[in-house]
Structure formats: structure tokens, C-alpha cells
Amino acid sequence: RKLSRSWIADHIHAQMRRAIATRALRATMNFHFGKQGRPRFKGLNQMASIAGEEPKNTLRLRDTRIHWLGLSLALEDGGDQARLRHAVVSDVRVIRIVRRRVRSRHRYYVQLVCAGTPYRKPGLDFGTRRVGIDPGLRYLAVATTTSGALINIAPLSIERTISRLSRAVSRKTASRVALSTGDSNLKSRRLRHLQSRLADEHRRSMETRRNLHGRIANAIVRLGTNLYIEKNSFRAFQRRYGRTIQSAAPAAMIQHLIRKAANAGGEVVLVSPTLRMSQLCHGCGAIVPKDLDLRMHVCVCGVGPVQRDIYSAWLAIMTRSDPTGSVRWFDADQARSAWSGAEQRLPAASKPVSIDLFEDWIEAQVASGDGSVASPDAGTERLASEACVKLGEARDVVGNMPRARESRADQRPVRKRSAAYAVALP
């Protein structure tokens, strides 16, 4: 009622006002149900998007133009005319105008929510292999039944600039508070410039990360759409490694990959972490805890050396479930029969490869047809420690050994405690 009687009613229609009220109600309900955080107040000039309830009223799409309040706005394709044509001819359900600040200037975009299948780039074919994925903080381990690779999902080129600008903004803010004359909203030109640059760098980082995740997801679905993903608690990772999670966004990467596989008609299986794939050896069945700095799996039964995360992703493929899908277990017999073809191709290095090298490896895998291409190897690392225990002793200490903590403050005592249980080659 207040919206309809204020000056806002002269600029937005009744449908837009109802859409804004629906968004506010949904945000409040999700907060009370524990699905999202506390809703933030939208003050002056903070509404960054508007939309109508129906695409045929308020905001209307005709050919390649948006009509709104007597305005006829042309859509620019940004060089991708095929995607624009696909969106225009689709069944449009929602039309939304979004305002974004790019290089200290406001730019306006149109989002078209369409029904049906999404646009697919020419030449993007989906594979039929089974792909295992072990997501980490900054790296993503990808493995097939015959090979694997480790890739970096965090853009590192912009993080230094963001850190430098954040420190500069903090210094200017602290000096402004110390010399404040009572007007808390007064900002210097230098501070406004630094804040604008910092916001722009965050935007660039988000777009670069999203582009990188899209390239990785497109490359993975070319191998196969049957994905076996280890289910990690990214919320727990965020509480402990907030800055790393912010730069890499592994949860967003996994959601992007799941959406790609679902659109292709594939199957996505979330493997429970209770199976302890990173501690399991398929050769002898022993479950031996490993320290965090030990990135190589080497067992006295002869399995290894192999990179720990890639080996965990490879073991995720060897899991099976009952017909109902409620119980999932590890199939050791299948893993032993498949190990003969993968032993020489799984990498023994944990240095991640670049996205270009990973895409070239995917191209070679798809071209070979049978997955006979060796994994990309970007370096070497140290093997297991000098400590070597018998297999029976390793099995006895599994239930009694405390879990390794991942905080940096507790890293040294955990290393001393777990060094005696590391399994190495004799």
C-alpha cells in the first residue's frame, strides 16, 4: 500500500510492485526456515533488479527489443548472435532488468528466463564414460576408469590486487574515522575511488572464476555425464577456510557441473564421505589415516605411488548401490580388475595442470575413444614418510587414532601424532 501511494508508483507498474513484495516475503520466509541468511535492507539506489510477474505485461519482448514504459530498448548480443536467437525464439517465462556497475559506470542487462533446453554451443558433445570427482578447497581431482588429472579452480591473478586494495581501503577508512568531524557519510574522493576499484576487481574475479568453472565443466561432460562426486561439507570448509573458499568457490563449481550433467540427461551420484575414499586401499582393504601434507598414496601391498585426491576420485567410480539407492558400498573386486589398466596412467604428482593442458588432455581422451591417453603430469612431490608399519598394525590403529585436524594452529601436533601410522614402501 505504501508503494502504491508513493512516488515509486509513477515509475513501476502494479505487477512490479507485487514482484518486489513477493521477493521480500520469500527472503523473509527462507530466513525463518534457515535456508538463507538475514535479508538485507534495500535503501536508496540499492535496488539492482526489477521484473514483472508475467512476460506479456509490464516488460515485453518483441523481436530483439524490450518495451517498457514507452521505451524501446534494443538488445545487444555481445558477439553471440546464436545465443540471442535461441533466447528470443524460446518460451520466455520471466523478463528481468539488472543493473551492474562496471568500471565505475552503470550498465543494464536483460535476463530472459526461458523454458525448455538451454543453448548448447556447436561441437559440444557429451561422453558416456563414468567420471569420479573429488572436490577440494582449491583443486578438483577428476578421474576416469583409466586416467585422471588435478586442476586448479581458483583464478590467482586477481587475488593480490584485491588484497592490496582492501588494505588501502581499510587504512583510508581508519584515518577518516580518526579525523571525523561528525558527518559519518562524508567520504573523500580517494576513498570513493578505492572502493569503486575494489568492487570492480571483485566483479572481475567473479566473472573470471565463472568463466573458468564453465570451461572445466564443459570439458568434464565431454568425458561423461555419469558423475560420482564425493559429498564434502563446504559449509564446514567455509567456516575454517573462508578466504580460500571465497576465491575458489568449489560449491559453485560442483553445482555448475551437476546442472550441466542433468541437462545432458546424465546421472549424478553423491558418494558419502563415510566410505573414507582418501584413506582406503583397494588392494588390501586397509583404511589408514593420512596426514594432510601427505598427498601420495603408497601401500605395502604394492598399490601406488598415486596422487591421493585422484586416487580418491578413481575409487568413487568403483562404488555400487542397492536397487533402492539408499545404501552404497565400495566394490573391491571391480576396483582390482580395473586397476591393471589404470595403474600406469594415474599421475603420481599433485601439482595441478592448467586449464589449457586439461582441455587438450580431454580432446586427446575423446579422440582416442578408449581412454588410452596418459594423464598430464605437471611435477613430482615427496613420497610417504620413512615410517613403515605392518599391514596388521595399520588396521589395528584405525579405530583408535584421532581424526586429523585441519587448522594451521594444530598442524604440527597432528603431524607428529600421525607420522607413525603412515604407510610407505619398504
Q: What confidence score (pLDDT) does residue 384 get?
A: 36
155 contacts: CB under 8 Å, gap ≥ 6 = 205, 208, 209, 212, 247
Of 45-49, 109-113, 323-327, 372-376, where does mean pLDDT reach its minimum? 372-376
What does the pLDDT look like over 125-155, one tens digit per residue? Answer: 888 888 999 998 888 999 888 888 888 888 7
- What residue type is assigned to position 360 of the chain? D
Indicate whether 323 pLDDT > 60.
yes
Greater confidence (369 vs 260) lies with: 260
For residue 407, what pLDDT band results from cuts at 50, 70 and 90? very low
Q: What confidence score (pLDDT) does residue 27 get?
A: 93
For residue 350, what pLDDT band results from cuts at 50, 70 and 90? low
Share of the chain above pLDDT 70, in %: 82
Share of the chain above pLDDT 90, in %: 7
Greater confidence (261 vs 406) lies with: 261
Q: What confidence score (pLDDT) does residue 82 get?
A: 85
**Structural contact between residues 353 and 376, judged by C-beta atoms closer than 8 angstroms:** yes
Of 22-26, 63-67, 342-346, where does mean pLDDT reach its minimum? 342-346
Q: Measured between alpha carbons, how far is residue 384 from residues 272, 277, 296, 344, 421 in Å? A: 26, 18, 7, 19, 11
Greater confidence (177 vs 333) lies with: 333
Q: What confidence score (pLDDT) does residue 385 get?
A: 36
**Structural contact between residues 81 and 88, judged by C-beta atoms closer than 8 angstroms:** no
Q: What confidence score (pLDDT) does residue 179 get?
A: 60
Give mean pLDDT, residues 333-348.
80
Q: What confidence score (pLDDT) does residue 372 get?
A: 62
Per the structure block, which three cell numbers stand in for 259? 546442472
Give mean pLDDT, residues 297-325.
85
Q: What confidence score (pLDDT) does residue 183 get?
A: 54
What does the pLDDT look like over 164-179, one tens digit per residue? Answer: 898 898 888 877 666 6
What rounded mean pLDDT belongs to the chain? 78
Q: What confidence score (pLDDT) does residue 31 get?
A: 94
Give mean pLDDT, residues 115-129.
82
Indicate whether 46 pLDDT > 60.
yes
Q: What confidence score (pLDDT) does residue 1 get?
A: 64
Query: Bridge-partner residues for 141, per DSSP?
Result: 134, 150
Q: What confidence score (pLDDT) does residue 177 get?
A: 64
pTM for the full model?
0.75
Give mean pLDDT, residues 15-38.
89
Q: What confidence score (pLDDT) does residue 30 get?
A: 94
What does the pLDDT look like over 212-230, one tens digit per residue? Answer: 999 999 999 988 889 999 9
